[in-house]
Amino acid sequence: MRSDQWYETFTQRDSLLIRWESTLRSGMSSVGEDTDAGRRLAETAEFFEFLQEELNGMMARWRTRKAES
């Protein structure tokens, strides 16, 4: 196993999260943003957006930590 295998695995999750968020936002438009389903989809899309931001920050902190060691 390569030494950066886990880093690469988590970095590739970013594109998956973007795709899921986009799909959820499309679904929101389809069912109506003011419906119960639309609100649930919006909350889930916001969650994936949050995960994406946190993952990016976490990966940046890891690169800094690794460079310092």
Tens of pLDDT, residue by residue, the chain (69 residues) = 567 788 778 777 778 888 999 999 999 999 999 999 999 999 999 999 999 899 889 989 988 998 998
Calpha distance 52→19 (Å, rounded): 11
pLDDT at 9: 80
Joined together, the tokens standing for residue 45 give 């899309």
pLDDT at 36: 97
Closest listed residue to residue 41, CA positions, set 54, 22, 17:
22
